[in-house]
Amino acid sequence: MREGFCALFKKDCRMLASGKFFLMAAGFLALYTAYVNLGYIRFMQMPPYNVYLYDPAGTQTEVSSLVHAVASLEAMDAALLSDANGVGLDASAEAVRVVLYAGAEHVDHHRADYALSLLRPSAGSAPEIIGTNTPEQKARKEITCELLFFELAAVGFLGIAAVLFQEKGMGVIRVHAILPLQKNLFLLSKLMVFLLSDLAFAVLLTLLNVGLADGAALLPAVLLQTAILSLMMALAGLLCALLLKDFRQFTLAYLIIAIFAATPVFLSANTSVKFDWIDYHPFYHVYMGLKNAYFGVAASLVYYIGSACAIALLFLAVQLAFRREMGKEG
């Protein structure tokens, strides 16, 4: 049995290598790393609103250094036109007037009052900081988690299905039906190859993008979540590949999963946009498990039990579909 498993494992590795799967994974790793280090960290910044002051008579004496002085009302209008989130303060008359472009109501109130507060800056008390991450650490962890989830959920799913369709086309399933091997080995070797490659990908992606020291501390928790997601996606990919007729049909299923399953999860998990029904979305819990691992929050026991049950159920379904497929072929 061990020899059979090793032979199947080697065959799957060779097949993935010849299908340029490992090359593609290495390419995506390089691309993601370049994106995080050269693009995301540089662009994911949101400076405070710019405040432009027109004060020809110099009536405002205590102005904060964050205020930009402008020479005329026209210059203030031009500045606001190009920076619609900015706030203009017109101190040319006796009373100060606030000028701003309309946005969301709450934000407008805050922008106006914030701009006014810069005219009379007070030392005040600095906010109490209770977290452990810096903005850059948070951004790195967040984007690494998103990229890993995308890689496992979309690219891994596509990869395993592509391999199985190729084998189906080559008649490997038919040959396997008459081999003196335990039938589950065929599925287990595939799961093992994808699990190992996903784990290696997760290790490299985390260390390269979160940083060596920070990343190494997170790895145990991240690898556990990666294993859960990888097994689920690989089993889902196998199931789709066994049930659907050809690779073209599969690409439709893939597109639906990529757009409709992943988008609401990303919105709910990363932004303040929350959907009431998101708790019923299975991807949301898996994604939050991965995200919590990156931010050092322990997942609940219910989540682990649910994940184990989901993997077991998916494996049973795949086993059934595989036996049906072998029966059809044989």
Q: Interface residues for another protein in 229-248 (CB under 8 A)?
A: 247-248
107/175 with CB nearer another protein: 107
37 binds another protein (CB under 8 A): no
Minimum CB–partner distance for residue 199 and another protein (Å): 22
- Enumerate residues 38-57 that contact another protein by CB under 8 A: 39, 43-49
Contact window for another protein (CB under 8 A) among 103-111, 174-182, 206-214, 299-307: 103-111
- d(Cα 112, Cα 26) in Å, to the nearest integer? 49
Backbone angles phi, psi at 142, to 5 degrees: -65, -50
Contact window for another protein (CB under 8 A) among 117-125, 189-197, 208-216, 317-325: 117-125
Q: Which of 103, 171, 282, 330 binds another protein (CB under 8 A)?
A: 103
129 binds another protein (CB under 8 A): yes
Minimum CB–partner distance for residue 3 and another protein (Å): 28
Asked if residues 151 and 28 have their Cβ atoms less than 8 Å apart, the reply is yes
31 binds another protein (CB under 8 A): yes
Contact window for another protein (CB under 8 A) among 112-120, 184-192, 208-216, 310-318: 112-120
- d(Cα 164, Cα 176) in Å, to the nearest integer? 13
Asked if residues 176 and 186 have their Cβ atoms less than 8 Å apart, the reply is yes
Q: Which of 1, 57, 95, 301 binds another protein (CB under 8 A)?
A: 95
- d(Cα 245, Cα 254) in Å, to the nearest integer? 14
**Among 219, 221, 203, 217, residue whose Cα is nearest residue 299:** 221
Q: At what angle do helices 212-243 and 157-170 cross, to 10 degrees?
A: 40
**Among 154, 283, 266, 151, residue whose Cα is nearest residue 206:** 151
Minimum CB–partner distance for residue 180 and another protein (Å): 29
Minimum CB–partner distance for residue 288 and another protein (Å): 9
- Enumerate residues 268-307 that contact another protein by CB under 8 A: 268-273, 291, 295
189/268 with CB nearer another protein: 268
Minimum CB–partner distance for residue 309 and another protein (Å): 26
How would you classify residue 67: left for phi > 0, otherwise alpha for psi between -120 and 50, otherwise beta? beta
Contact window for another protein (CB under 8 A) among 107-115, 171-179, 218-226, 310-318: 107-115
- d(Cα 290, Cα 297) in Å, to the nearest integer? 10
Asked if residues 26 and 151 have their Cβ atoms less than 8 Å apart, the reply is no
Backbone angles phi, psi at 100, to 5 degrees: -150, 155
